[in-house]
Chains A and B, each alone.
Chain A
Amino acid sequence: MVEKQRGAMRLAACDPAAHALGLTAGMALADARARVPDLAVFDHDPVADLNLLGWLADGCERYTPACMLVPPQGLLLDITGCEHVFGDAARLAKDLHARFSRHGLSCRIALGRTPDSAQAKAKYAARAISDVPVEALDGGDKVHKALRRAGLRSIGDLAVRPRKPLAARFGKAVVVRLARLLEEEDPRITPRRSLPIIHVAQNFAEPISRTNDVLATIEMLAGNAALQLQERGQGGRRFEICLFRSDGHVARLAVDTGTPTRDAALLMRLIRERIDALSDPLDPGFGYDLIRLEVPIAEVLANVQVGLETKIDTDAAAAALIDRLSVRLGAERVRQFHARQSHIPERAALERVAQSDVAKADWPKADWPKPVPGEPAMRPFRLFETPQPIEVTAGFPEGEPRSFRWRRHVHRVTRVEGPERISPEWWRHPRGYAPGNGSLTRDYYRVEDNEGRRFWLFRRGLYDEIERPLWYLHGIFA
């Protein structure tokens, strides 16, 4: 790999074969070519390298969700608690190595109890931390030279020395780093993704591809997760299933619930819905060799027994149905009525998504007005989103409609009541407070035609507001 360094094309990196022929990084390209005339040279593309590293990290998520990039060539995996999926750490490392080889990549894997020690061992290809050279301290060339002059060449050499004089002579930072390398201190890594609260996984020696098998596995994992949630007194609000294909591809499915849950059966139903609802069906390729279930969002869910009262059952059943339909159809298609205080009819009633992050208690329990005995409904059964333009014959100046034409059908008005005058909400326009600003008052009429059908009409604009006000049909009465 070549790139421009210090004014000349130089080697950025060499493969083992090139090394064997005596080429090193930093060497000028011209020199390199002189030694190896048929040298294969590629442009160094750091961005592409980084992307590749990221892709590799994605694949490594199968081992643990806690992965960190160490550019340009490193990956740090925190496999605490994850080794058992593969048996033990050694087997996990073996699997990892095999995976890389399959992709045509060579890698050096090192295990350590702390990130620093593992990283150092990998970088310097040492089996034990004591073999790692002092350069691993990252203290700077001067410090390294000084250490070597003092006869300290490896971490093992430093380990036996008292720390205080070392700190005094070479600086505190060196001593801190030494402690980390020697696994005495243990800073956590910063993973690429936020860690889920709970994650359970299952791997397969023989990758599985049959849907039933996949679902059975997920069900088992769901049961596990439910147990963990129960121990924590929590319920999950979001569940993610990661399906790792043997060829490295990862598929993710997510399921949200309106209320926290740890009901494994409910979860399975929702997951099945999610899978059914996929626009492109899952393609297992050559099979999934790892399936993981994560719970990224959980909330407190007390250990309450479902009571014998039907109310709780109904509410729970309704919530479950809402969740199910929301997953299948999309949350915005499952709605409830919501009131808003406004005299403008179309603004006064909304539909809100039934499954909501907002706790139900916060929803204003809408107090819909009670009907008055003997009073007919003053509002229609159905409202048109867009008021329908109609042609009306009415008395002048502000007379009642006598007949109207809608969708090419003429209606003769036999009963009518009105007007119910609704003035515009003047505050919604900056100059609405001043007279003559152009906003229009509506005069609504309830009408019944000769065929016994009842409509809600309005005239848009008073005759002293606009020269030729237009009429509309806004709704239908029962």
Chain B
Amino acid sequence: MSYAELACTSSYSFLRGASPPSDYVAEGIRRGLTAIGIADRNTVSGVVRAWKALGDAPDEARSALLAAKRDAGEPEQLTEAEKAACEPNIRFLAGSRLVFSDGTPDIIAYPATRQGWGNLTRLLTVGNMRATKGSCILKFDDLRDHLDDLLLIVMPYATADAEEAHKSPPLYAFKETAKPIAAPSHLKLVSTAPQDWESVLRRLAPVHVGKLWLGVSTHHRGKDKRQLARYRQVANAFDVPLLATNDPLYATRDQRPLHDIITCIRMGTTIQKAGFALEANAERYIKSADDMAHLFHACPEAVAETERFAAHIHFDLEQLKYEYPHEPVPGGWTPDDWLAHLVWTAAHERYGAELPEKIRKSIETELAFIRTEKFAYYFLTVHDLVKFARDQKPPILCQGRGSAANSTVCFLLGVTSVDPLTNTLLFSRFISSDRKEPPDIDVDFEHERREEVMQYIYRRYGRHRAAIAATIIHYRPRSAVREVGKALGLTEDITTRMVSTVWGSFGSGPDERRLVEAGFDPDNPEIARLKALSEQLIKFPRHLSQHVGGFILTENRLDERPQFH
């Protein structure tokens, strides 16, 4: 029997999941699952990591095998069969667990197609815009407006915490929809949201035929059999199939203590006082197909259903490619041609009808490179911004810097001011090592007038296509030690002393020598425990924050890709 685990909560569900997405992928491979799905709470920020981990898996497996051979004294070569064995036989599925603020139970959503992915991220954006930075407030009705191409697994419980509403959500009208966004009202509407999983099934089953499942798990909580019978009975009545999941909060059973710790951190309590807030047992890890078959021997179809579910999904993250805005290119021109036109015109203006050999050569090389890598849009967008700035009266000062100064094209577009005629430019410096990504062009705008630039961007492209990139802040060693210490109930003076032993921000945890210097006994089991748990917490996401000054401009609606915050 084969099995796919579709409800993994990773560390990107802040302080809820105790394993990074890569751990889930690794454990899924180890257990021989057919597919692994990461579905974090109201976010898709973790799926890229998992996708990347899966991509790296063959290389890692090969390296590990070679190292093992070296240790065993065997020749460091892999046969075809061995190479094949290093290829993981697991699919990665990207989704999200929708957690609602109106009492609706959790619903896990997987996009079946690229359009479905767009729907999902748009839905999450709706929730993000309603809440303060980092939170998400979703209502059941929001889901109803974004159902297309989403496969839904209804969970029989809700895990929402109280969220804070945004003080005043930005009002903007999408060109496509005429629906205005209402200002928040002090009146509390009577909730028409479904308050239990039966109601969810009742409301969704008729409108979402064939794409609705009821997710069920058995965690040895005493009444599994009875509950399963109940689920089956109700789901049958709505013609909704059961889908078996172990609803994992961590990849392996050993990570339960870490999960308890992050629960304490999240709730602001200590491990001694947390009581019933902690899980009673350690069953919520990735289980094998055999384990799941055993647990669900009363309804094996629920386990088989997981594979059927995965078969419905045709979407892969590979399908997401970055699409630039079209504005900088006038109608009738292709981006490359327009860029070439701008560049040659500017060159002749500056150097005359007969271009110096040096200049002509570099223009040709760079344009060829840009054409091959399809970076024209990128350069044109930057040029557009710079042109706007220079056209203002008085002009807004701006200057390109950094490695962009090595590009003739940039100079001719007016982005940089290093004359290639009088200087030696090394284009190779400009190109990044990873040729997939366009090279960095940093442009500094006059600080006091940067708002004008930002406003121009918003006006030209619309707020829905420009966003300040959000990055995820991770736990640094210091904060990890402090939070874990607090959760373990250690007194503040001990945690402060431990924190002070941590070497810098980018070390990996308490250094043993410095521990001794600070008066700790590294063999003291309490200290050892604190060290071990903190080391696990480092690199876990902590919250979102704004990346300083970076803008993302896109062709399609931005919220179809990463989420708005």
Interface residues of A (CB under 8 A from B): 340-343, 375, 378, 417-423, 426-427, 430-435, 441, 443-444, 446
Name 26 interchain pairs, CB-CB below 8 A, sorted by A: A341-B276, A341-B277, A343-B276, A378-B222, A378-B223, A417-B222, A417-B225, A418-B222, A420-B222, A420-B280, A421-B220, A421-B280, A421-B283, A422-B281, A423-B280, A423-B281, A423-B282, A426-B256, A426-B257, A432-B257, A433-B529, A433-B532, A433-B533, A435-B253, A435-B254, A441-B282
Also in contact, A434 and B226, with CB within 8 A (given A343-B278, A423-B280, A427-B271): no
* B531 smallest CB distance to A (angstroms): 11
Contact of B488 among A378, A418, A419, A427 (CB under 8 A): A427
Interface residues of B (CB under 8 A from A): 219-223, 225-226, 253-254, 256-257, 260, 271-283, 488, 525-526, 528-529, 532-533
B275 pairs with A342, CB closer than 8 A: yes
* B287 smallest CB distance to A (angstroms): 13
Q: Is the interface of A mostly helix, strand, loop or mixed?
A: loop
**CB nearest neighbor in A for B276:** A341
**CB nearest neighbor in B for A431:** B525
A443 to B222, CA, bound (A): 9
Given contacts A430-B526, A433-B529, 15 further A-B contacts (CB under 8 A): A341-B273, A341-B277, A417-B226, A419-B220, A421-B220, A421-B221, A423-B279, A427-B257, A427-B260, A427-B271, A427-B272, A430-B529, A431-B529, A441-B282, A444-B222
Contact of B532 among A342, A423, A434, A443 (CB under 8 A): A434
* B259 smallest CB distance to A (angstroms): 11
**CB nearest neighbor in B for A429:** B525
**Contacts of A441 on B, CB cut-off 8 Å?**
281-282
**Contacts of A431 on B, CB cut-off 8 Å?**
525, 528-529
A443 pairs with B525, CB closer than 8 A: no
A341 pairs with B274, CB closer than 8 A: yes
A343 to B275, CA, bound (A): 7
* A439 smallest CB distance to B (angstroms): 11
**Contacts of A433 on B, CB cut-off 8 Å?**
257, 529, 532-533
**Contacts of A375 on B, CB cut-off 8 Å?**
223
Q: Which 3 A-B pairs have the closest CB atoms?
A: A341-B275, A430-B525, A420-B222
A367 to B274, CA, bound (A): 16
**CB nearest neighbor in A for B529:** A433
Contact of B222 among A419, A423, A432, A435 (CB under 8 A): A419
**Contacts of B283 on A, CB cut-off 8 Å?**
421
* B564 smallest CB distance to A (angstroms): 39
**Contacts of A432 on B, CB cut-off 8 Å?**
257
**Contacts of B271 on A, CB cut-off 8 Å?**
427
B220 pairs with A443, CB closer than 8 A: yes
Most-contacted residue by chain A among B272, B279, B526 (CB, 10 A): B272
* B516 smallest CB distance to A (angstroms): 19
* B297 smallest CB distance to A (angstroms): 12
**CB nearest neighbor in A for B272:** A427
**CB nearest neighbor in B for A420:** B222
A430 to B220, CA, bound (A): 27
* A364 smallest CB distance to B (angstroms): 11
A245 to B528, CA, bound (A): 65
**Contacts of A434 on B, CB cut-off 8 Å?**
532
A426 to B281, CA, bound (A): 11
* B258 smallest CB distance to A (angstroms): 8
* A49 smallest CB distance to B (angstroms): 50
**Contacts of A420 on B, CB cut-off 8 Å?**
220-223, 280
A62 to B256, CA, bound (A): 68
* A425 smallest CB distance to B (angstroms): 9
**CB nearest neighbor in B for A432:** B257
Contact of A343 among B256, B280, B488, B532 (CB under 8 A): B280
* A372 smallest CB distance to B (angstroms): 10
B488 pairs with A340, CB closer than 8 A: no
A434 to B535, CA, bound (A): 13
**CB nearest neighbor in B for A344:** B280
A453 to B51, CA, bound (A): 55
* B508 smallest CB distance to A (angstroms): 18
* A335 smallest CB distance to B (angstroms): 22
**Contacts of A342 on B, CB cut-off 8 Å?**
275
A301 to B523, CA, bound (A): 55
**Contacts of A418 on B, CB cut-off 8 Å?**
222
**CB nearest neighbor in A for B532:** A433
**CB nearest neighbor in B for A433:** B257
Most-contacted residue by chain A among B222, B257, B283, B529 (CB, 10 A): B222
A444 to B220, CA, bound (A): 10
**Contacts of A378 on B, CB cut-off 8 Å?**
222-223
**Contacts of A343 on B, CB cut-off 8 Å?**
275-276, 278, 280
* B217 smallest CB distance to A (angstroms): 13
A444 to B225, CA, bound (A): 14
**Contacts of A417 on B, CB cut-off 8 Å?**
222-223, 225-226
A342 to B278, CA, bound (A): 9
Also in contact, A446 and B222, with CB within 8 A (given A430-B525, A430-B526): yes
B281 pairs with A421, CB closer than 8 A: yes
**Contacts of B281 on A, CB cut-off 8 Å?**
421-423, 441
* A463 smallest CB distance to B (angstroms): 13
* A344 smallest CB distance to B (angstroms): 9
A435 to B277, CA, bound (A): 22
**Contacts of A421 on B, CB cut-off 8 Å?**
219-221, 280-281, 283
**Contacts of A444 on B, CB cut-off 8 Å?**
222
**Contacts of B272 on A, CB cut-off 8 Å?**
427
**Contacts of B525 on A, CB cut-off 8 Å?**
430-431
**CB nearest neighbor in B for A422:** B280
**Contacts of B282 on A, CB cut-off 8 Å?**
423, 441
A419 to B273, CA, bound (A): 26
A370 to B106, CA, bound (A): 24
A443 to B280, CA, bound (A): 11
A412 to B278, CA, bound (A): 35
A423 to B221, CA, bound (A): 11
**Contacts of A419 on B, CB cut-off 8 Å?**
220, 222
* B514 smallest CB distance to A (angstroms): 22
**Contacts of B526 on A, CB cut-off 8 Å?**
430
* A369 smallest CB distance to B (angstroms): 9
